[in-house]
Amino acid sequence: MFLSSVGFSIVIMSVWPYLQKIDPTADASFLGWIIASYSLGQMVASPLFGLWSNYRPRKEPLVISIFISVAANCLYAYVHVPPSHNKYYMLVARALVGFGAGNVAVVRSYIAGATSLQERTGAMANTSASQALGFILGPANPDEVHDAQGSIDQVAVITTNILFFIILFIFALFETIATPLTMDMYAWTREQAVLYNGIILAALGVEAVMVFMGIKILSKRAGERALLLGGLVVVFIGFFILLPWGSQFPKIQWEDLHNDSISDAPAAERAPYLWTLPAGNSSEGPTGCPVRQSWCLSTPVIHLAQFLVAAVLIGMGYPACNVMSYTLYSKILGPKPQGVYMGWLTASGSGARILGPVFVSQMYTYCGPRWSFSLVCAIILLTVVLLGAVYRRLIPFSVRHGRVQEET
């Protein structure tokens, strides 16, 4: 999990500048498909690897998936070599990297089978901490599993998959939009965007490690469900803070002002941007908010302090929601073989990483951050309502069947 995160974090913040460099025809909308292709591959692979691990030693799918990841990353490194269609080679490379990353289901099913109910939260938190450390440093034989009597609460299983989907969907939005947003709002160059967002991602990784360590203590007092609910509330506050306000507007790319793209705009709309004409004159190309994104003319800038505070809150709430959701999931499943179930959980997360980048890239390009983040806030509120509706059913298998008394 650590090494997988290292490989992912090395690449993610530089995808957009790399894509612009190798293929100038690629736009922000295609970026969404590039990011989503990783998760599409992971969504396809996760149930397959999970099923494989149920019937064969887990080291087999792990070894094969690692070889696939190595080959796919080599392809990604050389997508600039072909004379044309480079963005499509990048699309294929990222999809194959995601396919190799489908081994996460195998890892989680192993942890679920190798730990007791009391050890589960701590073990999952340690695994997530290893993932977070991978984000910072980047920018076996099967267990004896005895089938147990009793049915799994399928409503709880489906609900947890939905919750996990939404949690990863929301974070995928933030992860995808961070680089284009900061380049548009603060007129950062490509190099600056990669560097600064890489630093922010590393800082969020440090924060996540601290959250995971705190979760091990707090979960014993508050319980996984309460921490999941609290994490969602914190993430909601983070995205609410990101809503644009005020009278200051982003700087506009000067090369776009040389054409007639805003000549038809009312004078009252054009006037506030005339002073920004010299802005964005960079040796790397134009910087600032492109005029072709019409919302740039009417949407106030998201101040850097807003962005940083929101990033801290999202970076605090997301890891709590993440680890609590699949800890609850493994406890709901109980002592049953979990390979396929964990495969579906990972697949639901991968589906979120497919739809999230595509959704936000389209919404951001055509509607801007105000609509994008407003819809995210609405989605989180609906998620809180869903969690409240099934709160009493998200309990461990052994508690549901009366074998262990539920902890307060």
Measured over the CA atoms of residue 399, residue 122, residue 350 and residue 241, the dihedral's sign is positive
Where does the pLDDT of residue 408 fall: very low under 50, low under 70, confident under 90, or very high at 90 and above? very low
**Predicted TM-score (pTM) above 0.75:** no
Report the alpha-carbon distance of residue 75 to residue 22 in Å, rounded. 14
> For residue 391, how far is the Cα from the chain centroid?
24
pLDDT of the residue at 407: 44
How far the first Cα of the chain sits from its last, in Å, is 31
- Nearest one of 309, 273, 272 to 288, comparing CA atoms: 273
- Nearest one of 44, 62, 66 to 344, comparing CA atoms: 44
Give me the long-range contacts of 144-149 (CB less than 8 A, separation at least 24).
145/113, 145/335, 145/336, 145/337, 146/335, 147/335, 147/336, 147/337, 148/334, 148/335, 148/336, 148/397, 149/401
Q: Which domains does the chain show, CATH number per domain?
A: 2-247+300-395 (1.20.1250.20), 254-297 (no CATH)
Contacting residues for 36 by C-beta, under 8 A, at least 6 apart? 353, 354, 355, 356, 357, 358
pLDDT of the residue at 144: 38
Q: Lowest mean pLDDT: which of 3-7, 87-91, 204-208, 274-278?
A: 274-278
Q: What is the mean pLDDT of residues 214-243?
A: 88
Q: List % helix, strand, coil for the chain (3-state, nearest 5).
A: 75, 0, 25
> Please, where are the H alpha helices in 223-338?
224-241, 267-270, 304-333
